[in-house]
A and B are shown apart, each in its own frame.
Chain A
């Protein structure tokens, strides 16, 4: 492929936490993750709960200290220059509540000011189809609208990389499809998008490449097609084909996680 350059380079990234039931012992929530994410791609990080997806994102976003390894975004070292990194990334967190008593329009202006920018709230709202909600309060929005609004907030600084943490969790199928369209649109405009998800369908239809994480490590990486070819169970006899969910379960097992 031509012009493929990495925008995020992660080498041996690791994060240590105390065990929940024994504070004296520690475990590696993220344990030696190395990834290279290309400019302009939609990259998915999959994994069961507790696999270390969110922790990995939080280290890239500067929310969590890096205990080992290093990460660079757009050439900037995340550990050395967190404030510079924050200028070039947009972040959507799992929790998306905002200050009370402010309208969407006012919140977007505020977010713009955090980057020392004068944004046009109406343009941003138009790009996420929320123009008619400009004067509404976030708490009055539906689940899908809330997610679209938090993407609008993440775009106030025209980021090079957009991080989405489980953007479609809890959305109905219509809202989910609608959000996928939005993500594709943003990607078409040149934005690199890194998202975590539990939804295999989402990973398969949206992501150019994915990494599957378990127990703090990357257990597989590649395009959805590659992964299916490599890891899906062999068809028993006839033309039965596995899907990405089979891959996921084959790699991470069937045991329930919390």
Chain B
């Protein structure tokens, strides 16, 4: 037996087609996130002209002094001198784009005969900047090198990745907005649509045909998942191509979380659609579910910045788990293994939603 029946596929395709022809829904589901991203994208612009580089000079030798002077003169960099611990913190806070550590060996006498390792600490979210910085840095190093000798390369750059928090607010905002958008689309797809279909008598009409409730639910889940994937891909493309947002992590892992999140919120939507009998009721109940999560789930600002009293509750909201997982992957390049706590949270919400949905969504009662 095939996994999906012809009817399920056909109905999924029909639901997808209905959505794609609904220009208003498409517009509104994309409008809000795009406006937000664009506004914050522009606020952030200008800020990143010169690259902030922290330099740790552990030598106080003339070679190092000359090298640092060259860096300071370069228009590409804004140099801050300091200790490694302090500058690494600044890097993590996003105040520095990278930190260059000049080792003690740089001042020693055998300089002319050996290759010295310089350590460059970077923010993983700034890899696109790195590609642009490295040649400039290399060039500076090569010039210094030439002053000393012509035979061997004197420096070799070893890049170390510290998982610093992403530098721009836009990087932070994007995964949260994605999670929020997928929640909206999912709850609307199951919850709001079911109430609308019932009001129009469509469910009743379907009920008098031999369609099984499983066919109907499968089709909604498939179609909505497709819609969410399309919409989020459009948003990501916009963020990356137009606004220059960087996504560090694995796209497959990112979309895996998107899929899980969609299933969680579709389940919750089925519960809503079964409980609320009128359009007004589903909007009211839907807002109770959606509204607090906009503010409490770390979509616009980190949960850590909330009052201590609210934090434990905020962390347990379904959108918190989804947005945290998506952000960890997108901003820090976290693997699925690394976000196990979020995955467990998402899994628990899926089970709760699935249990309630199967209890509440009784085909005959929902149809009537």
Contacts and interface: CB of A to CB of B under 8 A. Distances in A.
Contacts of B201: 93-97
A101 B204 contact: no
Contact of B209 (A86, A98, A99, A106): A86
Interface string A65-97: 100000000000000000100110101011111
A102 B17 contact: yes
Nearest to A98: B202
A219 interface: no
Contacts, number: 72
A250 interface: no
Given A63-B367, A99-B14, A113 B7 contact: yes
Contact of B204 (A63, A86, A157): A63
A62 B7 CA distance: 21
B77 interface: no
B210 A87 contact: yes
Contact of A115 (B209, B367, B368): B209
In which size bucket is the chain A interface? 20 to 34
A62 B202 contact: no
B150 interface: no
A114 interface: yes
B210 A110 contact: no
In which size bucket is the chain B interface? 20 to 34
A63 B201 CA distance: 12
B21 A61 contact: no
A100 interface: yes
A101 B200 CA distance: 14
Nearest to A163: B208
A132 interface: no
Nearest to B23: A101
Interface in B1-28: 6-7, 10-11, 14, 17-18, 21-22
Contact of A113 (B6, B17, B18): B6
B209 A114 contact: yes
Contact of B11 (A63, A65, A110, A116): A110
Contacts of A83: 210
B210 A100 contact: no
B209 A101 contact: no
Given A98-B202, A99-B202, A110-B14, A93 B208 contact: yes
Contact of A97 (B11, B200, B364): B200
A128 B361 CA distance: 36
Contact of B18 (A61, A102, A114): A102
Given A95-B200, A97-B202, A99-B14, A63 B6 contact: no
Interface in B198-250: 200-202, 204-211
Nearest to B367: A63
Interface string A101-121: 110001000110111100000
Nearest to A100: B18
Nearest to B207: A63
A83 to B, nearest CB: 5
Given A110-B11, A114-B210, 14 more contacts: A62-B208, A63-B368, A83-B210, A86-B209, A89-B208, A93-B204, A93-B205, A96-B205, A98-B202, A101-B18, A102-B14, A106-B14, A114-B211, A116-B6
Interface of B: 6-7, 10-11, 14, 17-18, 21-22, 197, 200-202, 204-211, 364, 367-368
Interface of A: 61-65, 83, 86-87, 89, 91, 93-102, 106, 110-111, 113-116, 153, 157
